[in-house]
Structure 1
């Protein structure tokens, strides 16, 4: 029996991927699992930023994840979690992306790929979903999933806006300097480019700025990539209603429920310190033009 279709979201954090995933989660047969990579480290081992599911229950007590862990964790869930975390560190960090794209993989990489496929299958079995949205954003994981029914969504946002967002801590996520956030932005997006170039027919790029300007159109493009005939779960005015989700971890905004509005956020143009903006521009310069971002930015009133 064929496994579920997986939409793997790549790129760097603070680019709108949580909102995109949670909107898709409102469609019948689609489940957004958040940053699934951290299921074992954060959710089971408690060695991370947050141990709560998007439904507000601890991951290990969540009605969905407790069943998934029962199917995939074996007799000793903690031991399994440690093995997963070790394999992820050794095999699918961003710097491993080119290696994971190679035709021949090590036995350890093949084993991890098989485990990931089993995990997706367990999620589909428990949730009843035919499509899983995984917003982990690790390009090397996407590269490893060649045996999966995979679609890749590469989301990018202006690095100055990302740097501005990272200046502010969010609940369990600490702040990050503009230099560090932009180094990550450059590395994760460059690695995502490699994966998408290898999979041109099953991947797409979506700029955050284009999505928030026309969220309905952006979601329609994603649905076409997934081969789903469904109406985007958002109005032309950017208003949507979010229900409960089962995201493993991610941006604290994942807990939002009820009526939400997707709208542009250009505060960074006014509020980002000049030195921080210059740092982000310099470090991201090799990719700015590729994504249509100007070197010089105009302030907003």
Structure 2
């Protein structure tokens, strides 16, 4: 898995706290020539290969022609279960609970030798995705600020950060909902979280993403889910400019529907399984459905970052 001087692979990293619209944003970006959206690559080893969950094309990942070709290009074969567990364990070294230690490391810090094999494996994987897809830029919606630090240490990756944010009250309400996950084992629902906990995560993840990107001197753009829905063409053009490929107009129908082709996203919101005409509407159910005490708690915990991102009290 070692290469002496890997060619550069451009990666657009979609960052942000969960339920902020990254899966939708990635599906839209995948329509842009030169970009390929492949979901939350951080979960490729466990959810994708060990659990053999479905690719967004609808095929179990081990049988998906795209991912089989990618893995053979990267490693000569699909890694066996022991290798996958080792890759997943290395990936878990870049989880949220390790974020404080990662943030305290000095800029330019490199990983210990014991993880260099992992970073080289990541480099090979992203390079293979670009080659097999024929894309100029790989779009990864893993979101974790901690995983971003892993990508920064992978040789040959040119990383840029597109940071999506959403009103924290809408995010907190979404985390309270009972949502089916059609891809989860044993028919499990998507995880739920108390609004107070969600508000803390929203603040910590977004601040950590800003700090890591700025400290590393990465090209960085923050954009809002609400603007993506209200002005999809202008918002996507800004993100596309950041990625470095020519901007292309988004196909939006007369009724505000977005025309999405089949993708090969590893993991993410169940919306990734949808293709064809997808309604592009603002999900603002929280404005009428959220309990006042939860709205007030979320607003208090996320202030003033919420205000800095343009979300007012009303």
Q: TM-score, normalised by structure 2?
A: 0.86
* Greater Cα shift, 25-34 or 226-235: 226-235
Number of aligned pairs? 293
- The DSSP-based 3-state class of the residue aligned with 1:135 is strand
Does 2:134 align with 1:128? yes
Once the two structures are TM-superposed, the CA of residue 92 in structure 1 deviates from its matched residue by 4.8
Corresponding residue to 1:111 among 113, 117, 124: 117
Pair 1:55–1:152, CA change in 2 (3 A):
same
Pair 1:149–1:124, CA change in 2 (3 A):
same
What RMSD over aligned residues (CA atoms) do the two structures have, in Å? 2.2
Does 2:296 align with 1:263? no
Corresponding residue to 2:234 among 212, 217, 232: 217
Cα distance per residue 1:1-37 (max 9 Å; x no partner):
7333110011111111111111111122321111111
Provide structure 2 residue ranges, at least 5 long, that are not aligned to the other structure: 1-5, 182-189
Does 2:144 align with 1:142? no
* Greater Cα shift, 71-80 or 83-92: 71-80
Cα distance per residue 1:142-199 (max 9 Å; x no partner):
2333351111011111110001111113222133221232222122111111123225
Pair 1:179–1:54, CA change in 2 (3 A):
same
Q: Is the 8 A contact 2:252 2:259 kept in 1?
A: no
Q: Is the 8 A contact 2:40 2:141 kept in 1?
A: yes
Q: TM-score, normalised by structure 1?
A: 0.89
Q: Is the 8 A contact 2:164 2:222 kept in 1?
A: yes
Cα distance per residue 1:49-71 (max 9 Å; x no partner):
x8110001111111111222334
1:159-170 aligned at under 5 Å gives the runs 159-170=168-179
- What is the CA–CA distance in structure 2 between the aligned matches of 1:5 and 1:179, rounded to whole Å? 37
Provide structure 1 residue ranges, at least 5 long, that are not aligned to the other structure: none
Partner in structure 1 of residue 56 of structure 2? 54
